[in-house]
Amino acid sequence: MFKKIQAGYHTLLFYGGVLLFPFSPGTLAWKLFKNKKGKVQLTNRDLICDTETLMALPKSENSLDEFTTAFSPFIPLLTLNDHPWKLRRKILADGLRKINIEKDFPFDLPLKKGDIYWDVFEILFRIGYELIFGRPVTPDEFREMYPGIVDINRLIKRHTGSPNINVRWKLYHRVAALLSEENKKFIFSECHEFKALSEIDRVSIVVEDLLTSICIQCSDLICHLILLYSSFQEPFKNSLDHCINETLRLYPLTDIWTRKPTEKERGWIASLIQLNRSGWRDPDSFKPERWNENDHPQLVSWGFDARSCPATKIGYHLSKALFQKMLLNKDIWIQPASNFKHDRTFSDGCQVWIGEGARPILTTWKFKGRRKKQAQQWIASRLRMLDQGELW
């Protein structure tokens, strides 16, 4: 009885907070149950608090809740289960193996004062397109495809509350047309299993599992690296791999992982478990040297079970190579705006001043429109929750 009352209280606290406060459900769950260990029981599922408890769960291949408007009309791999998931994942893995991660791309950071997030995102779109189709995107293709990919990210980032179906269908049809072309450089051109899939599955692999993931995940990681680099240049120059791990530990890219119930287990949410501080020494500090030791919790930024990231190698190498190209070999300086808060989801974009050569004496600056951005995000976030019954 006591457990039921407690579960009711936690559910009310969590879902009430989700509706009222300006945080995503993942961030709020972490703020409420910060460094707790074990599980918090909600009425319909469990909230997993720490890595140890997550690892002790029985292995599960059951994915996320299948309903999400974030990717509509595409059907991303992460919403599939059973045979369709296994088949799609195998085909995706074949395609990923064909991607040439050694390919050299120009990548120059815009020298500007303001939000660079969407500049980085656009560059990643062009690179992702070329990696998949083996040639640069044409201006017509860009016009028809790019707004759709931006819209998916804006909904995920809660900059908007519902999908723009018009631009998404344009993206869909353009990719469907691309797939009907004879293109020997396309990574699935020799994959018979890919060709046997339905159109929606083929388009979804290209748009969602590949292009959107490359754009969003790599842009996020690169922008986190840029922001941290502005304060930790020496460690970045000396041990970039450790710095990338430390960046992913402090700013995990994925928000909520959920698994559906099985016969024996209740469904669960592992919400920003990666931010749980138990087991880490001096957990809030950026300390790349901690990755020389093994006595810390496991890094689960790339997932942890059968559903873990199938593109770890590409995500890691592409982000690292581009970051190195942009910064490490150049005489570039970076000054984040003084009113900018580096958060996990770039709710205010990535507000920095980037310059090359001699640094002016006074580089302190503020970006405009902060309050307006925050109000817009609060509204968009509530709309999105209502639109897709998030977490219910």
Q: Does 246 bind ligand HEM (CB under 6 A)?
A: no
Residue 221 in the binding site for ligand HEM (CB under 6 A): yes
Binding segment for ligand HEM among 106-114, 224-232, 311-319, 376-384 (CB under 6 A)?
311-319
Binding to ligand HEM by residue 223, rule CB under 6 A? no
From the list 166-174, 252-260, 337-345, 367-375, the region that binds ligand HEM by CB under 6 A is: 252-260
List of residues 6+ apart from 368 with CB closer than 8 A = none
Q: How far is the CB of 322 from ligand HEM (least distance, A)?
A: 11
Specify the residue, 84 or 147, whose C-beta has the smaller distance to ligand HEM: 84
Q: Residue 311 or residue 337: which is nearer to ligand HEM going by CB?
A: 311
Question: Based on CB atoms, which residue is closest to ligand HEM, 308 or 339?
Answer: 308
- CA–CA gap between residue 128 and residue 211 (Å, rounded): 6
DSSP symbol at 78: G
CA distances from residue 344 to 26, 227, 265 in whole angstroms, order as listed: 11, 11, 31
Give strand ranges (E) for 123-252.
Answer: none
Select from 133-141, 193-201, 277-285, 310-318 the region that touches ligand HEM (CB under 6 A): 310-318
* Contact status: 50 vs ligand HEM (CB under 6 A): no
Q: Residue 55 or 375: which CB sits closer to ligand HEM?
A: 55
Task: List Cα–Cα distances, 101 to 190, 225, 248, 289, in angstroms.
Answer: 19, 20, 21, 27
66: phi then psi, degrees, rounded to nearest 5: -80, -20
Q: Look at residues 322, 301, 303 and name the one whose alpha carbon lies nearest to residue 131.
A: 322
Task: Pick one of 254, 335, 347, 351: the residue that binds ligand HEM (CB under 6 A).
Answer: 254
155: Cβ–Cβ under 8 A, 6 or more apart, which residues? 69, 70, 161, 162, 163, 384
DSSP code at position 272 = S
Pairing of the two strands 332-336 and 351-356 = antiparallel
Residue 153 and residue 121 in contact, taking contact as beta carbons nearer than 8 Å: yes
- Closest by Cα among 258, 309, 304, 223 to 29: 258
Residue number with CB closer to ligand HEM (13 or 87):
87
Stretch that binds ligand HEM, among 158-166, 207-215, 233-241, 286-294 (CB under 6 A): 207-215
Residue 319 interacting with ligand HEM (CB under 6 A)? yes
How many angstroms separate the CA atoms of 93 and 310, rounded?
7
- Would you count residue 53 as binding ligand HEM (CB under 6 A)? no
Q: Where are the beta strands (DSSP E) in the chain?
A: 39-41, 46-48, 113-115, 256-259, 268-271, 332-336, 351-356
**Is position 24 an interface residue for ligand HEM (rule: CB under 6 A)?**
no
Q: Site for ligand HEM (CB under 6 A): which residue of 310, 335, 347, 367?
A: 310
Smaller CB separation from ligand HEM, 133 or 353: 133
Regarding 209 and contact with ligand HEM (CB under 6 A), the answer is yes
Which CB, 10 or 98, lies closer to ligand HEM?
98
What are the beta bridge partners of residue 258?
269
75: contact with ligand HEM by CB under 6 A: no
Cα dihedral 290/295/296/300 (nearest 10): 100
Question: Min. distance of Cβ 240 from ligand HEM in angstroms?
Answer: 15
Binding site for ligand HEM (CB under 6 A): 63-64, 77-78, 89, 209-210, 213-214, 217-218, 221, 248, 253-254, 257, 301-303, 307-311, 314-315, 319
